[in-house]
Amino acid sequence: MKKETNAPVCEVEIVDGKKVEKAKEKIADTDQVLEMADIFKLLGELTRLKIVLVLLNSELCVCDLAAAMDANVSTVSHQLRLLRNAKLVKYRKEGKMVFYSIDDNHINDAIKKIKEHTEE
Amino acid sequence: MKKETNAPVCEVEIVDGKKVEKAKEKIADTDQVLEMADIFKLLGELTRLKIVLVLLNSELCVCDLAAAMDANVSTVSHQLRLLRNAKLVKYRKEGKMVFYSIDDNHINDAIKKIKEHTEE
DNA sequence: CAAACACTTGCACGTTTGTTCAAATGTATG
DNA sequence: CATACATTTGAACAAACGTGCAAGTGTTTG
């Protein structure tokens, strides 16, 4: 086992330098890792995940979305904003109503990115 | 447009009943939706996502993991526990060291579940 | 043009969560 | 058996987050 000879504290104590180097490469592209994390984070919350799952089927207005998932309109709207910012959903205005749907292009891009990472 | 005739407050005001019903079905399986959210939540945090990405390559001990991602050993260990509980990673003890790696079976199960939902 | 309505937004609150430090556990080794 | 070391764990703290209310915007309709 190769060990660093310094390291007075239990830190920066590396056991297998080569592995560590390879590992670092895997996460070197900070922006991409951050982007992945953001998408996962967005889907990792119940209200938002429900919204996305529901919208995979069809376009819905905020009101119906809220009804379908038994949530407050305000809550749904707040979370829609986050999904909108991340371009996971898109919207279409029709009078005073707003219809939301999945932004397929961006979702597919996201899935691609994740696959690239997991299937290397 | 069909509307409920009650609804004094701006609530439970349903515009398209059929759509709402279909939407409800999509998220009817509460357990499964929760399970999906948990996995996404786990991957939606930078430290944990990095751990997973790094482990996709090779097995690493806690010490090297921490070194590779420039994080505190304690922090890594805490997050490893969560990934372990969710069976996303598995571990192997060798003396005083613990080597972590991806628990492929469970990861694949997870991916399947997500695909089922997204490709219906 | 006032009232109703769909939706958004700002704020405040309580909760959850990630991190760090310090101490504990368990294992090798001299 | 004491020391060194890898890892885990608990406690404490700050930061981030989701939610609901109330107020605001913009649009339709009588």
Shortest Cα distance, chain A CAs vs residue B99, angstroms: 11
Contacts B19 to A, Cβ<8 Å = 58, 60, 64, 68
pLDDT tens string B86-98: 999 999 999 999 9
Least confident of A21-35, A43-57, B11-25: B11-25
Strand partners, B94: B97
Dihedral angle sign, alpha carbons of residues A9, A24, B52, A3: negative
- pLDDT, average across residues A59-68: 96
Least confident of A35-49, A103-117, B19-33, B70-84: A103-117
- Degrees to nearest 5, angle at CA B88 with B83 and B89: 75
| Half-sphere exposure of residue B23: CA atoms within 13 angstroms, side-chain side | 27
Asked if the model's pLDDT at residue B38 lies above 70, the reply is yes
Asked if the model's pLDDT at residue A88 lies above 80, the reply is yes
- Whether A82 CB is under 7 Å from strand D: yes
Predicted local confidence at residue B17, as pLDDT: 83
Strand partners, A98: A93
N-terminal to C-terminal alpha carbon distance within chain A: 28
Which domains can be identified in chain B, with CATH numbers?
30-118 (1.10.10.10)
The closest CB to that of A23, out of B12, B16, B54, belongs to B54
- One-letter amino acid identity for A111? I
> Coil, strand or helix: which one is B27?
coil
Predicted local confidence at residue A114, as pLDDT: 77
Q: Nearest-CA residue to the C1' of D27? A: A96
> Coil, strand or helix: which one is A94?
strand
Chain A segment 14-43 residues within 8 A of B by beta carbon are: 14-16, 19-20, 22-24, 26-27, 33-34, 36-43
Q: Are B55 and A104 spatial neighbours (Cβ–Cβ below 8 Å)?
A: no
Which phi and psi (to 5°) does residue A9 adopt?
-90, 165
Predicted local confidence at residue A52, as pLDDT: 96
**Exposure letters A4-40 (e unless 16+ CB within 10 A, then b):** eeeeeeeeeebbbeebbeebeebbeeeeebebbbbbb
Which of B116, B25, B40, B1 lies closest to A58 in space, CA to CA? B25
